[in-house]
Amino acid sequence: MKDWTTLGPLVDLQNEVGKRYDVGEERLALFLVGGDVYAIGDLCSHAEASLAEGELFDMEVECPRHGSSFDVTTGVPKSLPATTPVPVYEVRIVDGVIQARSKDSA
């Protein structure tokens, strides 16, 4: 996702509850935390479970399958068994609508 892609209205996000968005073949997990929106790859790098379905603790989401946690700001795993980061996306809000693009596009 090199260009900004519209995902949906900001009001669709609940505070500290993940929401999955599909953009072509990419799956994103978005999290609203204290008024800021974070987007990471939705698939756990260890077991391919949906991170949007995981629980958020502080700034880490826990994989619902094997308990690995990932920092929602960096995509870096914070606990085993995952050892590989998940992608991170840049997010902006335009007129109440969430847009995202790959971080390496900036």
Mean pLDDT, range 6-29, rounded to an integer: 96
Q: Is the pLDDT of residue 106 over 90?
A: no
Both structure tokens of 58: 């502080």
Q: Look at residue 105 in the predicted model and tell me its pLDDT.
A: 54
Of 37, 18, 34, 33, the closest CA to residue 96 belongs to 37
**Whole-prediction pTM value?**
0.93
What confidence tens digit (pLDDT) does each residue in 49-99 have? 999 999 999 999 999 999 999 999 999 999 999 999 999 999 999 999 999
CATH 2.120.10.30 fits domain 5-105: no
Q: Look at residue 104 in the predicted model and tell me its pLDDT.
A: 73
Alpha carbon of 55 to those of 1, 51, 52, 96: distances in Å?
26, 8, 8, 25
Residue 57's CB: how many other CB atoms inside 10 A?
11
